[in-house]
């Protein structure tokens, strides 16, 4: 059963998106494709679900704004959450317009209504293109697949409706169902469906003006659409420079504990470990100083303790993911911290000097050679 479940999961997550993409591309060139409605419905259903699932799997993607300091390989949000409301509105309006156009028969739909529906889809398509450009990275290609399919479906729908209108007009002209006056109207600019995409471009401008006015009244910035992409960090259209990520060594309990709530763990400064910036509190300084003394005074014992800790401490440290868990580790480490301090004061001439320089660049060289006695 597990094998069947894994095969089913692989089929849904790996094969189905590819098949749906092929189907949507094929329907663009062949509007008479039998399964196009089912294919489009499944695209919206599974595209939404799988996109959310994949974003959740990408553990280094966060919802943090560009100015928030992150940890390790985490990256900031790819859309500015404070201005993305206009993005969501464009997408919603575009999808509603697409559904409206898909549900209408061209013989009963005035050409101007069709043009306005097409115009409403343009901003949605543009914002989806911007999203694909923003997140374009090899490891995020699956996230680009759904927006790309939505764009294909929208332009396929426009093409289909233009062809449907032309077919209806030709049939009516051939059957002689149109009098001279109505035929002249059909032969006018709006009656020529090949011009609809161009008219839609023109119609987008006043439509965007109205939408911009409404968004300003709702306290959105006039440049919200641009700021949604540019006021971010770590992405292709980003223009903001974020603070450098803090390195949280998830192998070491004291290092992890330093990332708890500030009122509990009391961070005092930034330090450096293995070329990365780390948060340093007194407990971390003391623990590192104690290990350094062990390495100086009793290298064999240090090797035994380090081997034991590497074997059992690492798995525990990797499970600590929240600030509350870091607080708990910090409190549990307190008795050891007091023991470490006692050892330092019994073995070092200037224990506070050794403690104070931990995690400074080149701190080993800063220590007085007499401390190694």
Over range 103-132, report the average pLDDT.
Answer: 85
- pTM score: 0.65
Q: How much is the CA Rg of the chain, to the nearest whole Å?
A: 31
Lowest mean pLDDT among 94-103, 119-128, 336-345, 353-362: 353-362
Most confident of 14-18, 222-226, 314-318: 14-18
Could you give the percent of the chain with pLDDT greater than 90?
Answer: 4
Question: Mean pLDDT, to the nearest integer, of 129-135?
Answer: 90
Of 65-69, 262-266, 282-286, which one has max mean pLDDT?
A: 282-286
**Chain CA centroid to CA 331, Å:** 35
> What would the two tokens of residue 293 be?
């003394």
Mean pLDDT of 125-133: 91
In degrees rounded to 5, what are phi and psi of residue 225? -65, -40
pLDDT at residue 191 in the model:
55
Question: Lowest-pLDDT range, 12-16, 267-271, 298-302, 366-370?
Answer: 366-370
Lowest mean pLDDT among 46-50, 115-119, 261-265, 315-319: 315-319
Q: Which residue has the tokens 């049939």?
A: 171
Which pLDDT value is given to residue 15?
81
pLDDT of 280 above 70: yes
Mean pLDDT of 82-103: 86
Asked if 282 and 266 count as a contact pair (C-beta separation under 8 A), the reply is yes
- Answer whether residue 257 shows pLDDT above 80: no
Strand partners, 280: 269
Q: Determine the average pLDDT of the residues in 110-118.
A: 82
Averaged confidence pLDDT in the chain: 77
pLDDT at position 129, please?
92
Please state, in angstroms and as integers, the Cα–Cα distance from residue 337 to each residue in 281, 331, 346, following that order.
12, 10, 14
User: 10 Å Cβ neighbour count for 238?
Assistant: 19
pLDDT of 160 higher than 70: yes
Comparing 9-18, 106-115, 166-175, 246-255, the range with the smallest average pLDDT is 246-255
Exposed / middle / buried, residue 142 (Cβ in 10 Å: 0-12, 13-18, 19+): middle
Q: Which two tokens stand for residue 363?
A: 């701190």
Q: What is the pLDDT of residue 339?
A: 92
250 near 320, Cβ under 8 Å? Answer: yes
DSSP one-letter string for 46-109: HHHHHHHHHHHH-TTB----TTS--BTT-B--SS-TTTTHHHHHHHHHHHHHHHHHHHS-GGGS
- Nearest CA to 333 out of 283, 277, 282 is that of 283
Residue 372, pLDDT score? 57
CA nearest to 286, candidates 347, 356, 363, 348: 356
| Separation between Cα atoms, residue 199 and residue 191, nearest integer Å | 12
3-state secondary structure of 195: helix
How many Cβ atoms are within 10 Å of 154's Cβ, its own excluded?
21
pLDDT at 338: 92
Q: How confident is the model at residue 171 (pLDDT cuts 50, 70, 90)?
A: low
pLDDT at 195: 63
CB neighbours of residue 177 within 10 Å: 10
Write down the pLDDT at residue 63. Answer: 80
Three-point CA angle 19, 20, 25, nearest 5°: 100
Question: Which of 40, 54, 52 has its CA nearest to residue 95?
Answer: 40
- pLDDT for residue 305: 81
Residue 237 pLDDT greater than 70, yes or no: yes
- Give the CA distances from residue 253 to residues 207, 330, 334, in Å, rounded to whole numbers and listed in that order: 57, 8, 12
Which range has highest mean pLDDT (100-104, 145-149, 159-163)? 145-149
**Assigned token pair, 43:** 């695209």
295 compared with 245, residue with greater pLDDT: 295
Q: Which of 52, 142, 60, 153 is nearest to 101 (CA)?
A: 153
Q: What is the DSSP letter of 337?
A: H
320-332 tens-digit pLDDT: 667 787 788 888 8
Give the model's confidence band at 250: pLDDT under 50 very low, under 70 low, under 90 confident, else very high: low
Domain limits, the chain: 2-57+84-220, 253-372
């Amino acid at each position: 059963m597990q094998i069947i479940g894994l095969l089913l999961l692989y089929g849904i997550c790996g094969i189905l998106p590819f098949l749906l993409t092929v189907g949507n591309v094929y329907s663009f060139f062949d509007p008479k494709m039998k399964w196009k409605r089912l294919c489009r419905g499944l695209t919206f259903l599974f595209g939404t679900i799988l996109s959310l699932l994949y974003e959740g799997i990408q553990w280094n993607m966060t919802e943090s704004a560009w100015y928030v300091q992150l940890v390790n390989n985490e990256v900031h949000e790819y859309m500015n959450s404070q201005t993305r409301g206009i993005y969501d509105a464009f997408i919603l309006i575009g999808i509603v317009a697409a559904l409206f156009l898909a549900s209408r028969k061209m013989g009963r739909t005035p050409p101007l209504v069709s043009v306005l529906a097409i115009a409403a889809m343009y901003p949605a398509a543009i914002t989806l293109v911007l999203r694909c450009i923003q997140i374009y990275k090899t490891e995020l290609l699956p996230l680009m697949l759904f927006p790309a399919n939505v764009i294909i479906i929208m332009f396929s729908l426009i093409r289909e409706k233009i062809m449907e209108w032309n077919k209806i007009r030709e049939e009516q002209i051939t059957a002689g169902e149109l009098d001279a006056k109505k035929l002249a109207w059909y032969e006018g600019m709006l009656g020529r469906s090949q011009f609809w995409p161009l008219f839609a471009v023109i119609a987008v401008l006043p439509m965007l003006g109205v939408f911009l006015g409404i968004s300003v009244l709702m306290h959105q910035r006039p440049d919200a659409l641009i700021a949604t992409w540019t006021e971010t960090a770590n992405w292709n259209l980003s223009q903001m420079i974020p603070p450098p990520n803090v390195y949280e060594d998830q192998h070491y309990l004291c290092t992890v504990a330093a990332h708890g709530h500030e009122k509990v763990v009391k961070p005092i400064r930034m330090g450096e470990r293995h070329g990365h910036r780390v948060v340093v509190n007194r407990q971390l300084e003391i623990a590192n100083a104690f290990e350094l003394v062990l390495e100086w005074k009793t290298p064999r014992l240090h090797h035994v303790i380090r081997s034991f800790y590497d074997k059992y401490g690492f798995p525990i440290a990797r499970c600590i993911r929240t600030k509350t868990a870091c607080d708990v580790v910090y409190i549990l480490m307190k008795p050891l911290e007091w023991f470490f301090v006692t050892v330092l004061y019994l073995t070092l001439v200037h224990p506070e000097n050794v403690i104070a320089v931990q995690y400074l660049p080149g701190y080993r060289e800063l220590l007085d050679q007499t401390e190694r006695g």
